[in-house]
Chain A
Amino acid sequence: MPGPFTYFIWFVGILCEAAVLVCALKKGAFRRYLLLNLYMAGLMIVELGRYRILSQYGQSSAQYAYFYYYSDALLTICLYFALSSLYSHVFSEMKAERYVKMGTLLLLAGTAAFSGAVVLQSSAKLLTHFVLELSQNLYFVGVVLTYVLWAAILKLKETRTRLIQLVLSLGIYFSLLAANYAIRNLYPQLGAVVAPLAQIFGTFLPVAWAYAFWRLPEEARLAPARLAVIPR
């Protein structure tokens, strides 16, 4: 069974996920960022389900492992759609929603096809392997998409503070997990220190999103940089 620290971080994470939904509802941002909030609601439900299964069967049980990885794949797909909704927000003035939807579905289909092609090389437990591979590939697609979106925000000189906060926190979240993974593999002897960090990083996204919904109003704008004075 996990130790008290693991449980503490876990419950803090669940509370933060609930806080995102409460803040979004209180500030009237639930429908505006519907997919983000649905992802957070799904994450909270899955976390509670994981707790139930872990306390019933134990951390090393097959039930917990299957539930954990299958639910993670579903959540990654939800997060992918949530990210695509941020694209729709950023490109809303360009009336490019149709193209964003088309690109989203095409990319998901391409990732699924790629994952399927990789998994077909092995023979046993096809569905489980596919779920793991798809989840992993979508994670990396999400990383690239977030950086591309951040580049687009810079290029378009986006000033909506809340939107910028949501995108930036997603980028930092993905980067933290990738850095943690890289350090874990580069320095396996640090595993005892680095592994719990991944769990702590899991609480970053709900905290950042709760802050964005609670403290940053939808009308808030970043002040544009001062105009450069060019001497004649």
Chain B
Amino acid sequence: MEFYLFVLLNGLAYAALLFLLAAGLSLVYGVGRVLHLAHGGFFMLGGYMGYSLYQWAGNFWLALALAPLLALAVGLITERLVRIVYGPDRALEQVLFTFGLAFVISDLTRFFWGAQVLGVPPPPVLNRPMGLGPVVYPAYPLFLILVGTVVALGLWALMRFTRFGLEVRAAAGHPKMAEALGVPTTQVLRRTYLLGVALAALGGVLAAPRLALAPGLDFTMLILGLIVVVIGGLGSVTGALYGALLVGLADSLGRTFLPQFALAVIFLLMALVLVFRPEGLLGGRR
């Protein structure tokens, strides 16, 4: 019985990380109609920056707070560039451009941090087992689940109750009309992009104690992020949440019972959704 609980909790913790990555990816698509293939790079960048900050400051929490800000600085530059390929009917150019950007980030990261596997220990307060009734489970993944929940709620509140959220939804729903009503869509897009980058980087730092920081992480995470947003529905934060939960749990279950085919099954799910319900299981925007 406790075995299944572990599988569940592992899946949820993974889902939290996936959500942080996918939420931004989904939002940027919703508002700018661009699939930001360099998003995995920001996740990885966040992780590496977190590593360096930790080495410098010796404090995990500081690294957690500062890494997303540093990533934001990079994001300010890349947003200017990605703006060139915003818009529908530009799949080819978007793939090329954001792919190219991903390669640039990938190599620069390798240049600065090298190719060996790096790691960050969880902060001492979380680096211990927790008692969950009769069962014992490490604290850190529970912390991840907590963070994921808080971020999900926060994003939901942001979208529902703030002016920014309203403008994001308007720009995603009907960009032309939104602009005719005074919504500065270019600015909205820029802020959405930066939000996405910050979330991805946050995910990267949080992931550092659990996953290995090594070249290739960016593309691995990107693929998973794509699966999540496709399944959940491009353009929707709730879609990213459900997609992340589904993929996280499927991955955890798969690893346990069908290790050789786990990932293949997830891809199959993605393919099926693309064929039969391209707007995602939740039916995202148009």
Q: Do A and B come from one complex?
A: no
List the interface of chain A (C-beta within 8 A of B).
none
